[in-house]
Amino acid sequence: MTAFAPSRLFTGAEIIEGAVVHIDNGRVTSVSRTLAPDAVKLDGLLAPGFIDAQVNGGGGVLFNDAPTVDTLEAIAAAHSRFGVTSFMATLISDERGKIPAAIAAVEEGVRRGVPGLLGLHLEGPWLSEPRRGVHPAKHLRPLADEDIQALTRTRAFPLLVTVAPEQAAPIQIKALSDAGIIVSLGHTAATAEEVQAALAAGAAGFTHLFNAMPPIEGRKPGPVGAALADPDCFAGLILDGVHVHPVSAKLALAAKTARRLVLVSDAMSTVGAAGSSMQLFGETIAVQGGALRTSAGVLAGAHLDMSAAMRNAVTLLGASLKDALRMASLTPAEFLRVEIDRGRIAPGLRADFVLLNDALEPAGVWIAGERVA
């Protein structure tokens, strides 16, 4: 058994002082105010580890390039430095054979216990061509019955699928949702009515709100308007100050609140790596002004980590520290339906922690009670 006595503790609901967190066998057994004689004192704010629903790569590797357990281990190690204790390995639209390879890699990675690996996010290929971003048009296609059969097979990890309503009918979205798959809407130019039909069919949220979507207009609210008007759906946000203007991000926070806005990194291989460029489908992508762009200036994923996204919520949006931390931990846990096990520091939950210094930078990271960074 281990006991931690941090300067301050964020439980997922409140920030308190003088608390002691007791851990046994990788889980929290109790949170008390009684100082244990052998408690390890931690100088800083101990918070639930960050949960990232959209990680394409890190540490110099990209999941699309090599969907293997070795790649997942490298990505996990890179992001743990930034406070990430759970992540969804993300595969963007690619050749058909990449999806079964990605599923197999995540299955094996979860079986082996790759630290922090939570599940798989398939961002496409069921996306809208006009809003494809850097997703190759040749790989995009409508959702088919054979896809649904392959995706709805029972798995021991969360599966998140991003689709455009133009490529997936409400009855198909319902089939995925009924099978326990988390359906997110993204890379779409659908009307608000089409989006509302997808939400009614079981779609749970939106992938990188604002990005790869038409702008909201008074008579054409589109996906963004439908997302902001719905109080129940979740919305991912790439909060690097580039992908979404801070004013738009403030609007999203005001409409969705910290209970429904999910911070994501959309990180590519440059995060946690020495280099500032990478190859994507044979094209060089380079960090320019804090963001990854093609030679034509098209945004391609993000050069962002979750600890920076959390700090940006405070500095760019004026969010409270509690709300910023919630959007990086408990809210994504609820979106991914793992809040019974992660996202809070409470008895029975996994001992997944990040220790933050006065600058809100990670000073220590624990996954299932084991220090990893």
Q: Which residues are catalytic?
A: 266
Contact call for residues 82 and 360 (beta carbons, < 8 A): no
Contacts of residues 205-208 at CB distance under 8 Å and 24 or more positions apart, as own/partner, are 205/233, 205/234, 205/235, 205/236, 205/260, 205/262, 205/335, 206/233, 206/234, 206/235, 206/236, 207/54, 207/123, 207/162, 207/236, 208/54, 208/236, 208/237, 208/238, 208/243, 208/264, 208/266
Contact call for residues 336 and 262 (beta carbons, < 8 A): no
Contact call for residues 9 and 319 (beta carbons, < 8 A): no
Contact call for residues 94 and 101 (beta carbons, < 8 A): no
Contact call for residues 52 and 265 (beta carbons, < 8 A): yes
Beta-carbon contacts of 245 under 8 Å, excluding residues fewer than 6 positions away, are none
Label residue 41 exposed, middle or buried (CB < 10 Å: 0-12, 13-18, 19+): exposed
CB atoms within 10 A of CB 347: 12
Label residue 154 exposed, middle or buried (CB < 10 Å: 0-12, 13-18, 19+): exposed
- Integer angstrom CA distances of residue 122 from 53, 158, 159, 235, 323: 11, 11, 8, 16, 28
Asked if the bond preceding 125 is cis, omega within 30° of 0, the reply is yes
d(CA 37, CA 148): 55
CB atoms within 10 A of CB 251: 17
